[in-house]
Amino acid sequence: MPLLERVPLLEKNLSDYAEVVEPGTIERIRELAAPLAGARVLHVNATAYGGGVAELLATHVPLLRAAGLEADWQVMRGTDEFFHVTKSAHNALQGADIEWDLRDERVYLERTVDNATALEGEYDFVVLHDPQPVAIREFVRGHRFDNNGAKWIWRCHIDLTDANPRVWEFFRPYVEQYDVSVWTMPSFVPESLEMDRVVQAPPCIDPLSVKNLDLAQPFVDEMCRSYGVDPGRPIMCQVSRFDPWKDPVGVIEAFRIAREEVPGLQLILAGSMATDDPEGFHYWELCEEARAGDRDVFLLSNLQQVGAVQINAFQRAAGVVVQKSLREGFGLTVSEALWKGRPVVGGRRGGITLQIEDGVSGYLVDSVDECAARCVEILSDAETARRFGTAGHEHVRREFLSTRGARGLAASLQRPERHRVRSWR
């Protein structure tokens, strides 16, 4: 099998972040990273494009390099069959009732063995993300890649609060082989997990990425017009994968209810088709059916050349941003919108509850009707929208910028003590 794909990375400079992060943050990162200078760190996940993990690594790995570590990012190789199996596993671990049998396990393990033998390089720390690569640790034992005493870290980005027991018990022994596991929230950690080091570390956004840089209003307006959206009329926007857990059909239903109170309202549903998500096109089709030709509902993705700049513009143009997830590991798009000063209405699920301060920077909701009502409230009250936006921006600046994540990792790699759940903060 060919070697794993190495992802090319942009260079980043820690000093560039000094004006947007809290005072002392850059100095603290350098202080914590100094003992790790030259340490070799490898991150492995399932896709270089599409979804939150790829976005995180595109910033996180260059920041580690900027802090003096030798960091790389490799992507595992898979077949359509493998990614169908891992998507089923992903859904099951988030609580879906799926069929999972020995054949699924065989497909998963055979491809994992292939990827394990394709690993190359010598590293001091190896960080694997989510279920797709987790069993690689098992299959490199005793091989040349595992002969230098590296510390292995598993980073779980999804919500295992109600994980399918059969599927979790298949993955659990592989997770327990790691030196450390990292979770977005303590509540995501299954009680049956037996590990000495279990760490909490919410993801973060990059304030200097193309997706989050300031854009001039005329540019925002013109970008909307180029996709048929009228910037002169009110806009709801949800940015996420086309995925059942993001409930895009429920967002369309909430939009239609809200439009009865907010004439001229438009809805943008935008996201990317990730290479490791074979269900994306199916849920796109379901959204097309739910849209039913409504000219005020815009379904947009990378297939229509929607990238970071367009997403940035859509979020800035929105009077309210929605993230009506039914299950959510974190939801980077919430912090992205809050950072842009936009009020957010989000599902009361998982990592969204860390980001939205209910009634302060937006609202947490539990139903389609409640989502619609809260959107109407924000769209009808410019002062509330402004106040929420200001509070959300400051909350993200304190808690969810990428420099906090880099600082947390540097601190965590220096802590050998045993603990059950401890924050990187």
Tally of domains within the chain: 2
> By residue range, what is the domain housing residue 39?
5-204+402-423
Q: Is residue 339 part of a domain?
A: yes
Q: What is the CATH number of the domain that holds 341?
A: 3.40.50.2000
Residues 221 and 78 placed together within one structural domain of the fold: no
Residues 171 and 271 placed together within one structural domain of the fold: no
Q: Is residue 357 part of a domain?
A: yes
Residues 61 and 126 placed together within one structural domain of the fold: yes
Residues 173 and 261 placed together within one structural domain of the fold: no
Q: What angle do CA 262, 265, 271 make, to 5 degrees?
A: 140
At which residue do the structure tokens 């303590």 appear?
186
Residues 151 and 228 placed together within one structural domain of the fold: no
Q: Give the pLDDT confidence score for residue 28 in this predicted structure.
A: 86
At which residue do the structure tokens 């990792």 appear?
409
Residues 168 and 42 placed together within one structural domain of the fold: yes
Q: Give the pLDDT confidence score for residue 147 in this predicted structure.
A: 66
Q: Is residue 258 part of a domain?
A: yes
Q: How confident is the model over 104-145, as pLDDT tens digits?
A: 999 999 999 999 988 888 899 999 999 999 999 999 987 767
Residues 83 and 155 placed together within one structural domain of the fold: yes
Q: Is residue 212 part of a domain?
A: no
Residues 242 and 390 placed together within one structural domain of the fold: yes
Q: How many CA atoms lie within 13 A of 216 on its CB side?
A: 3
Q: Is residue 355 part of a domain?
A: yes
Residues 120 and 96 placed together within one structural domain of the fold: yes
Computed over every residue of the chain, the mean pLDDT equals 91
Residues 291 and 179 placed together within one structural domain of the fold: no
Cα(244)–Cα(287) distance, integer angstroms? 10
10-residue block means of pLDDT along the chain (425 residues)? 80 92 87 90 90 89 93 93 94 93 96 91 93 95 74 95 96 96 95 93 93 97 98 97 92 98 97 72 91 96 90 98 96 97 97 97 98 98 97 95 72 51 48
Cα(137)–Cα(178) distance, integer angstroms? 7
Q: Is residue 223 part of a domain?
A: yes
Cα(282)–Cα(274) distance, integer angstroms? 13
Segment (H or E) for 5: strand 5-6
Residues 226 and 126 placed together within one structural domain of the fold: no
Q: Do the strands 5-6 and 70-75 form a parallel or antiparallel pair, or are they unpaired?
A: antiparallel
Sign of CA dihedral 392, 316, 329, 36: negative
Q: Give the pLDDT confidence score for residue 21 in this predicted structure.
A: 87
312 close to 324: Cβ distance less than 8 angstroms: no
Residues 25 and 94 placed together within one structural domain of the fold: yes
Rounded to 10 degrees, the C-alpha dihedral 80/81/84/89 comes to: -140
